[in-house]
Every structure is written in C-alpha cells, then in structure tokens.
C-alpha cells in the first residue's frame, strides 16, 4: 500500500505523520525537538519503522517547519514548503470550507485567511512569547499545575481577573500581583487565557476579517481555556481538527503526494535513521552580504549547503561530485 510521510520540525516540537492515499492518517508522532532536530527526526523514523506494516511503501515525503532545509536532506524530501502552505493544505482537506485558521505553536503563532480554499492573507508573530505554548508551559510550571489541567481550571473560574497580556514579562508580573491580592487560581488562569487571546487578536489578527468556519490548531488548541476565550472574544464556535497538533505534517503528506504524482520519490528509506549527519557553517566573504552558509555532511560526505542569497553555494549539485 502506498503512503506518504510528512515531517514538520519546529523549535519546540517535531511532528511526523504517515498518511494513505485516501488522506487517512495511519500513524502520527508528536516529539519534543529539544534543540536537536537531527537526532529527533532520526528517532522519529526509527519509531515509525517499527510501528508501520512492512507492506506500506513510502511513495513521497514532504517537509516543513523552521528546520525544513535540514530535514529535507536528512530524509530525502520531494516537497519542501513553508508552514503557511502546509497548514492551509491540511485544513482544506480536513475542514472543507474553512475561512480562518488560528494556529498557536510552542514559539510562534500565526493566522491564515482563506477564501474558496486559497490563502489570501496571513500574519505571523515570532517576536514576543506572550500567547505561545512555551509561555503557557512556563506559567503552568510556576503554578505547579500540569499543563494538561491548565485549560480545564480556567473553565471553572467564576470571576476572571484582567491580566496585562501585551508582554510575557508584564503578564507574569501581573499574575504574581493578582496572586498576592488573594485572587483564586482559577480566576487568574482564566484571566491569563483571555489576555493571551487579546494579545493574539490585537497583534497577529489585527486588521484581518475573521470569518467562520474558524479552525483552531497547534499544540495550544488542546487548552480548553484558550479555546473558550477565543470563542468568547470572536462570538464564534471554533473547529478543532482531529489531528490539530500535527496539521503541518498532515499538509506535507498531501503536498508530497502531489509532488510525486509523475515522478519517483527521493525518500532515502528508514535506513536514514542510522546515517551520521553533521551540520557545520561558515561565513561567505564573496560580497558585502557576508551570508552564513549552512552545510551538512552525511557519513563525512558534503551533501548540501544553503543560506546564501545569490545561490553560489546552494545551487551546486553535491551528489554529482
């Protein structure tokens, strides 16, 4: 049976999905990147090889995320796309007719506006931590509350307090102040959820026409408190897809299928998990841009370079040498 592999490597999580030709997810993995994209992708390949049937043939591979260039070399990718494209393709397949995508991950957040299945506008916030999963993780840890229970506690609030949510530093200090005043933990958490939603809508969603159906995805979509705060602010019900936490990888599977429709896959096989990949870098002094060139060695053989603006290094076919 033919299947497709999608890999989404971000700063916080690495997601791998195997999908069949009918867009049904066969296997999915959600792993912590922990600053080691090479080892976590290889570990993911090892896990999937053990989980999937030997009858499944990987007919195409798609990659996305902040480490997509590196990942494409590791696995042998047929489709290399940015996160906006990957998420939009996944939603078009899983939630037909969706017009707005709210995506909040570990280190960034984004909004994608779609009309008739086409992306017409988008915005990303990669500067401030307020409103991201890592900030929620930090606050849950500080309050000694498991992150899995964070959202449910927010729903139990009777009088949510107002938290300054424009900045992560101010939000944390305001939470501490509200604790010192004796407010209930549930009310503080609910106030934080509402503050983060205000921050998202005032920054990422500013000037955007948010029409339904509205899809909420990314790891933070599991937080019931954030979902409730969004629905209250937008006065709209949010749709959370079944595979909300790995939608980027789902989109990559679909893109990989399209990319290999008339050509064989470049997938290196499960044995890529055992290869020795070593990234290094140097500064090119060929012009005033002084680009940082990333290069990767596979089993001590240089196989790829990227990072240059002119193509001097990245356009070389290293496999032909």
Q: What are the residue ranges of helices labelled H in the chain?
A: 37-51, 68-75, 83-94, 133-142, 147-155, 168-180, 185-203, 224-234, 247-259
Q: Residue 129's pLDDT is what?
A: 58
CA dist 216 and 48 (Å) reads 27
pLDDT tens for each residue of 187-216: 888 888 888 888 888 888 888 899 989 999
Does residue 168 share a domain with residue 40? no
Does residue 65 share a domain with residue 115? no
Angle at 38 between CA 37 and CA 43, to 5 degrees: 95
Q: Give the whole-number percent of the chain exceeding pLDDT 90.
A: 27
Does residue 235 share a domain with residue 103? yes
Q: Residue 26's pLDDT is what?
A: 92
In the structure, what pLDDT confidence band is assigned to residue 179 with cuts at 50, 70 and 90?
confident
Question: Do residues 98 and 107 make contact, with C-beta atoms less than 8 angstroms apart?
Answer: no
β-strands 100-104, 109-115 pairing = antiparallel
Closest alpha carbon to 171 in 161, 156, 183, 184: 161
Does residue 228 share a domain with residue 162? yes
Q: Residue 226's pLDDT is what?
A: 87
Q: Residue 145's pLDDT is what?
A: 78
Mean pLDDT within 299-318:
76
Does residue 218 share a domain with residue 291? no
Query: Which structural domain, as residue segments, surrounds residue 77?
Result: 2-90+248-274
In the structure, what pLDDT confidence band is assigned to residue 88 with cuts at 50, 70 and 90?
very high
HSE of 61, CA atoms in CB hemisphere, 13 A: 22
Q: Residue 241's pLDDT is what?
A: 92
Does residue 217 share a domain with residue 134? yes
Q: How many domains does the chain have?
A: 3
CA dist 84 and 90 (Å) reads 10
Does residue 207 share a domain with residue 168? yes
Task: Output Rg (C-alpha) for the chain, integer angstroms.
Answer: 21
φ, ψ (nearest 5 deg) of residue 172:
-65, -45
Four-CA torsion 64, 67, 68, 72, nearest 10 degrees: -140
Does residue 266 share a domain with residue 221? no
pLDDT tens for each residue of 1-28: 899 999 998 877 889 999 998 889 999 9
The CATH number of residue 42's host domain is 3.30.420.40
Helix, strand, coil share (%) of the chain residues, nearest 5: 40, 25, 35
Residue 240 pLDDT greater than 90, yes or no: yes
Does residue 225 share a domain with residue 141? yes
- SS3 state at 174: helix
Work out the widest C-alpha separation in the chain, in whole angstroms. 69
Question: Minimum mean pLDDT among 95-99, 193-197, 225-229, 306-310: which range?
Answer: 306-310
pLDDT tens for each residue of 106-163: 777 889 999 988 899 998 875 665 556 677 777 777 777 777 777 777 778 777 778 7
In the structure, what pLDDT confidence band is assigned to residue 256 with cuts at 50, 70 and 90?
very high
Does residue 56 share a domain with residue 12? yes
Q: Residue 128's pLDDT is what?
A: 62
Does residue 285 share a domain with residue 268? no
φ, ψ (nearest 5 deg) of residue 102:
-105, 120
Helices (H) and strands (E) counted in the chain, each on its own, are 9, 13
Does residue 149 share a domain with residue 209? yes
């Amino acid at each position: 049976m033919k299947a497709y592999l999608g890999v989404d490597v971000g700063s916080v999580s690495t997601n791998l999905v195997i999908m069949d030709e009918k867009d049904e997810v066969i296997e999915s993995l959600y792993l912590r990147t922990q600053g080691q994209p090479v080892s976590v992708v290889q570990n993911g390949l090892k896990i999937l090889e053990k989980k999937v049937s030997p009858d499944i043939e990987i007919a195409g591979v798609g990659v996305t995320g902040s480490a997509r260039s590196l990942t494409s070399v590791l696995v042998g990718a047929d489709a290399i796309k940015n996160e906006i494209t990957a998420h939009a393709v996944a939603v078009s397949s899983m939630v037909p007719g969706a017009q707005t995508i709210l995506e909040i991950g570990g280190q960034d957040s984004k909004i994608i506006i779609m009309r008739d299945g086409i992306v017409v506008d988008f915005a990303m916030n990669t500067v401030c931590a307020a409103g991201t999963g890592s900030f929620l993780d930090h606050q849950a840890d500080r309050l000694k509350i498991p992150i899995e229970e964070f959202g449910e506690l927010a729903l139990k609030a009777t009088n949510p307090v107002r938290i300054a949510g424009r900045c992560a530093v101010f939000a944390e200090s305001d939470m501490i102040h509200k604790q010192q005043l004796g407010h209930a933990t549930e009310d503080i958490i609910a106030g934080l959820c509402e503050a983060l939603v205000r921050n998202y809508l005032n920054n990422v969603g500013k000037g955007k026409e948010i029409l339904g159906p509205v899809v909420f995805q990314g790891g933070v979509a599991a937080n019931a408190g954030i979902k409730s705060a969004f629905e209250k602010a937008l006065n709209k019900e949010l749709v959370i897809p079944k595979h909300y936490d790995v939608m980027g990888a789902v989109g990559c599977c679909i893109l990989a299928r399209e990319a290999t429709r008339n050509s064989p896959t470049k997938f290196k096989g499960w044995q890529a998990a055992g290869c020795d990949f070593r990234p290094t870098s140097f500064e090119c002094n060929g012009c005033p841009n002084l680009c940082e060139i990333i290069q990767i060695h596979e089993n001590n053989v240089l196989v790829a370079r990227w990072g240059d603006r002119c193509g001097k290094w990245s356009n070389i076919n290293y496999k032909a040498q």
